[in-house]
Amino acid sequence: METGLKGLEAVLAIARRGSFRAAALDLGLSTTALSHTIGRLEAGLGVRLFNRTTRSVSLTDAGRDFVARVAPAIAEIRAAMDTARSQRETPSGMLRINASAQAGREVAPLVLDFLRRYPEMQVDLVTEGRLVDIVADGFDLGIRPADLVPRDMIALPLGRPERHAVVAAPEWLLRHPAPRSPADLDPAHCLRIRLPNGALLRWPFEKDGAPLPFEAKGRLTMDEPAIARAAVLDGAGIGYFIEGDVAEDLAAGRMIRLLEDWTPARPGFSLYYPGRRNPSAGFAAFIAMVRDGNKAPPVPR
């Protein structure tokens, strides 16, 4: 039986994404081609790896055991390939990065500069709300707020410290008094935010170095800033955002900023990765660009 690395990668992609369609998109294949690949592999093994219905895909018991054994082997193969690539002086190959949507916007200019400098490199930038295991999911790098980076990772600051903004729509403030301190906030009027790790955000207010976390208890909970922004503009209540996500609304008067003295700048995003003994030339070049960027003087705001 001839399995091939691509067939094994296909199994891991489907197991990771829980969908043939999503896995096919990740792999750059058609759903039909991916289905044929898995069918040939299952025929060669003599067992089914996936239970398929029109609505869902799940691993069989044999499939779970297969993935548990194959995943570490694939990781070793990737490491061996990275080691081989590290011998090249010219960066080439694929760099896979997982980031939140906001972090993706922060790193995009750096990625474009990287591609201009190294024409033999490719970058796959995946943005999603959930916090993933970048090693298990086959990513080289992750980018998340500094306080969400796993402790066993090497982390580098990326970009400027972030300001947050507490905001409400002008129409909402016509019906409710503007708070002068967090103590004036009605928790029921404050939209709740779910973080990528599943926890609910306690709004991190601070004054004169003294933290004052606040627990929002509004009826609406969201994990996507664009949806939260739309809700605030529609008068659903008070929202808590990264400043850049609502800067245009504040400038245009569509939102009013509240409690600005209670939201000082906080550490921004971090780029993180597991320790590597023999990083590829492309990986090392990207990390060097991040380090060089951290040495540059801050851009005036």
Give the C-alpha distances (Å, rounded to integers) separating 104 from 92, 98, 143, 224, 265. Answer: 22, 8, 8, 14, 20
CATH label of the domain that carries residue 40: 1.10.10.10
- Per DSSP, 264 falls in state -
**Enclosing domain of residue 9:** 5-82
Pair (148, 278) in one structural domain = yes
Could you tell me the pLDDT band of residue 251, with boundaries at 50, 70 and 90?
A: very high
pTM over 0.85? The answer is no
Please check whether residue 180 lies inside any domain of the structure. yes
Residue-wise pLDDT for 100-131, tens only, equals: 888 898 899 999 999 999 999 999 999 988 88
Same-domain pairing of 16 and 34:
yes
**Same structural domain for residues 195 and 148?**
no
Residue 297's pLDDT is 43
How far apart CA 231 and CA 233 sit, in angstroms, is 5
* Per-residue pLDDT tens over the stretch 46-67: 999 999 887 789 999 999 999 9
30 belongs to a structural domain: yes
Q: What is the CATH number of the domain that holds 125?
A: 3.40.190.10
- Domain of 200, CATH number, reads 3.40.190.290
The answer to whether residue 97 sits within a structural domain is: yes
Residue carrying the six token digits 């609910």:
200
- In a domain, residue 71? The reply is yes
Tell me which of 55, 82, 109 is where a domain ends: 82
- Give domain status of residue 88, yes or no: no
In the numeric block, the tokens 């089914």 are attached to 48
Q: In terms of domains, do 34 and 118 share one?
A: no
Domain count, the chain: 3
